[in-house]
Amino acid sequence: MKLAIQDNRLPGKDISEKIYNAEKFGFDGLEVWGHKLSERFQEIKQALESSKIKFSTVCAGYPGDLLGADRQTREAAIEGIKSLLKICSDLGGVGVITVPTFGKPKIPDLYPWISDVWEVERRLLIEECKILGRYADDVGSYVILEPINRYETHFMNTLKQGVEICKEVGIEHVKIMADFFHMNIEEASIPSSLEEAADYIVHIHLADSNRVLPGYGHTDFKEPFKVLKRKGYRNFMAFECRVPGDPFEALPKSVQYLREFM
């Protein structure tokens, strides 16, 4: 298991200084926001070349909506994700984090053909993931589906739901990630959910129960980390959370806290 952090959580005037601080704080990897990533590609690549920090993942940042109401919106999401998959591969990363949709359903009720909008969305996402998955296989970076909590989306809230989508897609480079903040809301048992979904998890987001740094809330990291170690998880776990107070004190403190369980 390796610790990463999103670049916007790090102090520093530019990406080189942020990466320098990430290494100093004890991180192994860097996750970046996907918005306008092509414009930052060379800067990030050059900064990583002079550091022990490795590129982990791209977090969203693409246009459109995979479950949007119109074809143009869905096509924009597909093409945006493809672009980020290629950049991620070129930087040596694991993959692109993809939330199928936020908020309420955008696709209208199609009664009397199908009265269950969730089923329409599920079928649609599977076909989109087949398109994306074949491209991801070619470039060698993952489409990483992220289940998020019910207050942020109506669709795909649990790891089990994400795994079911991946099984129906049936393509190697379509997998899921586990986010401790969302799991704290949606999963009855975080360790059990990780155990059951382990074969499909290629990335993890770390945050405590209050979406602050690990160690600042009441989430238990010890037992879930035991599961991850037993299942042989080797990829990154990235900080996606608020940083309270001075990051030069809070970030290394949180890293040290987690390494006790790693």
Catalytically active residues are 146, 240
SS3 of residue 6 by DSSP: strand
Distance of CA 236 to the CA centre of its chain: 10
CB within 8 Å of 156: residues ≥ 6 apart? 100, 145, 147, 148, 162, 165
Phi, psi values for residue 91, rounded to 5°: -95, 0
First and final C-alpha spacing in the chain = 7
209: number of Cβ within 10 Å: 15
The per-type count for the chain, helices as H runs and strands as E runs, is 9, 8
Q: In the block, which residue shows the tokens 């993931």?
A: 129
Answer whether 130's CB lies under 8 Å from 161's CB.
no
